[in-house]
Structure 1
Amino acid sequence: MGDKHLTVMSRRAELIGASLALALLVASLAGIAELNSALLLFLSLSTVSTAAFVFARTQGMLAPIVFGCLGLAILVSAHVSGLIASAEQAAVLTLGGVAFGVAGAVLVGGQMLRQASKDLEASRAELSNFMDSPHILWRATPDAKVDLYNRRYSELVGRQHADAISAEDWLADFHPADGSVAIAEIRAAMEGTLPFQTKMRLRHADGSYRWMSLTGNPTFDAAGELRAYYGSTVDIHDEVTAREEAQCLREELEKSQAELINFVDSVPQILWRCSIDAKVDFYNKRFTEVLGRDWRKVIERQDWIEDFHPDDRGWYLERVRETFAAGVELKATVRLRQADGSYRWTALIGRPLLDADGKAIRYYGGTTDIHDEVMAREELQATRAALEASRAEVEFFANSVPHILWRANARGEILSFNARVREVTGIDGNCLREGRRYLEIIHPKDRDAFCEAVDVAVTNQTQASVQARVRQHDGSYRWMHFYERPVTSPSGEIQRFGGSVDIHEEVLLREELLRIREELERGRAELENFADSVPHIQWRLNEEDRVDYLNRQYTEFTGHSREDAIANQTWADRYHPDDIAMAWGHFRRAAETGEDRVNFEYRLQHKDGGYRWVRLSGRAIRSPDTGRIVRWYGGTIDAQEEVLAQAQLQELLATLEQRVEERTAELLRSQARYASLFDVSNMTFAEMDFSATQPRLEALKQQAVTDLRAYFGQHPGELKELLSLIRTVRVNEALARLLGYADLAELVSNPPAQNASDGEDVLLRQLEMAFHGEDHIDGRTVLIGKNGLEIPVYFTVNRLPDGIHLSSHLNLTEQERVEGLRRAAQDELARANRAATIGAFSASIAHELNQPISSMVMDTQTGLRWLRREPLQTAPAEKILERLARTAQRVADIVHRTRENIVVGRRVARTLDLARLIRQTRDLLEDDLRRSDITLRVDCPASDLDVRGDPVELQQVLVNLINNAADAMREQAERRIVTVSASRADETVTVTVSDTGPGIAEEHYEKLFQPFFTTKATGIGMGLQICRAAIEAAGGTLVAENGPSGGARFSFTLLRPEPIPCEPTAGAQ
């Protein structure tokens, strides 16, 4: 608008300047001597002419006529006044004024045209913005065809933007129950060219329906004919839903009011209410039931005194007048006439309702039949005096309720508070009323919302409801709910009554509930992640024998979607046909016999198409009322390797010599006798956060570090720093109880490295697991509890997302005892074998088979205890089964190689990774050595240690050398360390096994590798002879010597495999 006014003002300045110049010219031509007179006359005529042309464009032809008459009047006046002396002067002035007026009109008209073009462009832009509003805008023809609508309609209903929508197409977007009615209303309105407004449910693009308000207004052309309807469609779904909820609340309120009326009418007393002039305006139904008169007619006639005994009427009326005038409680004992005409003594009590000045304005009361009591006491005492007056009902009520109450006028100005306001805020109500000081006790952050809600309610005379924090007398703030509603008195005066309810605890409970819900959601997500992380199938079966839950492992194992298996119940299709009836038989038998557990093996189809043996374990949940099974929870683990290993083990054991078989059976019987003496303790869990170590581990990878243990051996300070970043996040109560802690926080606060005897080594293994991207490690250690308590455990560690390591522990205290007995049995068996050995070759077979078979027996017993434990713990059992399978394979390889040697004396040599073989041997022996307080250290490159040889024989060599080193140090009190190191040269790899024992005696050097030479009381003297034979068969050498710092050192050297030459390609040929 500012630019427009500047443009018009500049045009006006140009016009005035031209007028002045032209006025001088015309005056000279007309011969008017007085320049001022000529100029005044010319400007008058030109202004009239310009206005005539301008208004002719906007007001029609009437404007030029009016302004023409005005110009003529000016000329006549000029002639009469002597300004124009002749007709020639008048003509010249007239033509000049008209010509200038036309020029001015042209200039003004051009300016108006340019301004109109700008206004048109602005209107188009505004219309485009208006059409992109968040509401549906449309235009419809008189035949109900929508020929224009904005993009919002297409976005909501998912309809492609078209030129026009017919009434039938429009109807298709409406809810079937609303479309016909809405279209009929619209067409009826269009036939009468009337505005319309209707509501219906409109289908949205996602298929849902929402309530919409459809409003249309007609527009007409210049002839008054209907041109089109313009309208909008607004989403009122929330409003309609709110109204429906409000209707439900009103119905509940009416129901509550009806219950209140029923309650009042059900009490066994007559209840009444009367004004200060003793006019009764309320009785409950008990009045008619007792006195036999219609309470409505009694109120209408106000003849209630007729129901009193004639002797009681006079004094009672007098007492009523006195009591009501005094505004005190009314108490009287009178005789009331009953429905049968008799009179009964009745206690009548009325309490006053007082106004703010303490004046009684109404009485509430009731009657109680005390006829029997009065008759019993009538001979002993006269009627007692009326009870003392009590406080006014209104004041008693207002000051006794635990809420702040107030009364305000129609303008929202508070007139009074009850006494509760002082108890809550510590400020007198009169002080709070002055100048709206009550706003000072509202929390500053809630004050604006509070004022806005109250002001809106006062302006609209509606009910106010708002929550805000109120400052208490001690300075603290508490949440309170304020409500205020207008009430119209019989005189028409509007007053507002309000109150506040302390909802602080409710708000805190809602916040706590929200926090608990969020925690529950996190716990549910964590539980789901945990269920999907376990390495076996978990399932749930409902009472209808339908599986309603399967974890992710089901899909990973079977290749079948668990969602499809649950939806279509196709999970049973993966069972082997021969096992389905057997599986259901177990569940039916459990239901019939009352058992709560099922355990059986069956074949399940694997994702590769074949069937694998699995073991199912399930537990039933029964209804506490009926005892019926309502749920089955269970898991299914892969038992293929175990079943095959058991079968292979039976086949291998059947081929052993009778003597070994008898000794093994005796050992099994011994193990079985002791197994029943021990119970497996509950599993314990702990979570440790390794996330802070990740950046440093990644940096080491960037530095091309491959052997993390060797690197930290050279940089122990960095290891200490890295271990300090690890912290314990959470432990369970079982672990705390195991370690003697009553407080979980005390255990969590301990540095992780201090919780185990080899804590730093266990943490280093976990760092290696994270460094190499592995997900699981296990092993044995001794946990250090409170007051130095030591607990031997078998532990497993699983790496979870976000750098969390979850460790579980199995108490091996009882197992250690069994292990000691097993060792004693092994020693006895070794002595028996030595005594029964006939030759070196037979002794070598027993020597090689004794250790793996004993390990298999122990692992089998341990695995059985894990599988029989409740609840079922599958992860440790699976680890034991994997180790059992490897040991069984090792036994099979020994037997196979022995048979091959017996038949043809050949050995199978192949290229193998000696570093990997050393680490596997460490994992095999580390637990047994740790129980003997012997530390096994491995120092070898992570890779590039390939050699040619028999892996079974080379591992047997490593086992024998490490066990010999351990046996040599068992009598030492401290510093018992076995070190296995490996190094490579150009063509060879050297492995050294050294110890910190007493070393090799001088007289024993020449006899070390002779058969049957031993320095151990229970030895057979074949171990080193077997080791040397194996190494020499592989093309290497085995030597023994004492180390420079003490202890024995055995070293063997093997040849590295020759590189395979690359064959030339066809192109090279």
Structure 2
Amino acid sequence: MELTSTKQRRAAALAIGAASVLLALFVDEPYVLLVAVAVICICIGWEAGLVAVASAGLLSSVILFSLESGAIGGAVRLAVFVVAALALWFVIKIFRTMSFYDRVYQGAGPNIADIPGLGWSAYPDGRLRFVNPAALEYVGVTADEMRRIMDGDDYHWTQFVHPDDVEASMARWHHNLETGEPVIDEQRVRRFDGTYRWFRDTAVASRDEHGRITGWYGQMEDIDDQKKAETALRERERELRLLVDTVPTMIWLMTPAGLPYYFNKRFLDWAGIDAVKEEPRGTRQFASHVELFHPDDRAAVKAVFEKSFARGEPLQHKGRLCRKDGKYRWIDSRFEPLRDEDGTILRWYGVNFDIDDEVRAQESLRLADERLARALRAASLSELSVSIAHELNQPLQAVVANAGAFQRWLTADPPNFNHASRVAQKIIRNADAAAQVVARIRALFSKTEGAPHAIDLNVVIREVCDLLGDTLTSSGVKLDLHLDPRLPATTADQVQMEQVVLNLVRNGIEAMQNVSINVRSLRIVSRHQNDGTVEVEVRDRGRGFSNPERIFEAFYTTKPDGMGMGLAICRSIIEAHYGRLWAENVETGGASITFSIPIRAADSIHTITAATADSRMGAFRD
């Protein structure tokens, strides 16, 4: 029979000891009592062994002196018995003490006391065999106290384990004893000051040549700080996840290769992605995410994303993404790479902003603008008619004025045919100018190309001043021309250039109607600039502009009877010639309007007239 517990072994020893006492009394032989002394020393303790020796000596003396006739012989045998009993007591004392200290400090192997942490060893059946000094110091017990604990119940060491961890630890320990698997357990162990700290208990079984377990050797590592750090880390991760899930935008993460592996709760709820059925992190193919985009956007999205991932560049992209209800909504996606110190991409962070309402609002606004523009164009047809009359008024007035002069020269006495002939030429020229204005208006709507050719702006300026000569005289305006004699010719539409100069000169004359006649002076300057352009400036001595930036807007005017179309058309003509028109107030009084156009060859601006038509139409849309 195999005795597997301390209680069983002690019961058997006590039975043997009692049997030895009975046997000694039965056979009247005191030396059999030595067995009882040994049993008491082993089972009860070597401290009680002295009492056992004295009692056995007393009992043996009774036996010897009752049987021996000679007192000397009985005394000698009694002395021999007592000496034998003391020797037996001393040997058991030595072996009990040394055996425990060997188990505690030396153990079954070399350097067991140097094991880091709390080292221990157990018998094959799981009974604790020894612990190292670090373990004794941690739990705050002496070697003798630990001996008594180990000699007590088989698992009395559980008194040092937290009550909440005892049941689970015992269940795992019994499982390891049955299977022989290595021990890996975590439990809270009570320190000498009564506080509990987390320890990781690891142990392996030693085996003989037949594979039978001969013992268990383990070590307990203090992981309390690690546990607290892990708890704090889990709490921070929980707070961060809560923050990411509650941020009012869709957030998702990708691997360095661009494979999605995390979506926040808002994204999951928006797109209807099942997080439980979702593929493992980093394994979800990018193509499966691209499928969420509108079929018309997938190819472009895939190309743009792959290009960004390959180059490691941030990305911003707009596309239509499918919501969980099956509707496609416009999404603004932005991605940024997270890099380490060496510049290697660790992961990609992406955010999606639902801008569908904004896009639809912008589209509605655009459509409303188009409807408003059409309404404004329709409403401005009457104004356009007036503008046409405005453009034709000047040459027709000149025709009327010159026709009257022609009639006066013919009815003079005697008739002056030379002057009449010159006036007739002016009439023809004015009529031709009116016809060309009509042709330009027709070109504006039909967008037909004209025939630009090289012109001399100085000639254009002089012809306009000659045409407005009577107006200048009747208004009391002094004309001051400063024309560059070396001004190069430039390719432009002559009628349109005449129209621009005519409008600028006429506006200058009208701007001085309310100033003293003594200061009415109109200065016209032409100059060649180093940037390859020619400039024409018309400067008056009027009151200046209250808002120079707005005078070129269509229908903006400061005149009671004005329509605000002249300067708007001038701006359209100059911009169509790739030039610039601007106005500014003069510090000495008055204002100036200047335009500049580039010097171009005839074959380089064959589309000027068509561009002018588009620009002039834009003047009515502004």
TM-score interval (norm. to shorter): 0.3 to 0.5
TM-score, normalising length: structure 1: 0.20
Task: Point out which structure has higher relative CO (alpha carbons under 8 A, 6+ apart).
Answer: 2
Structure with the greater alpha carbon radius of gyration? 2
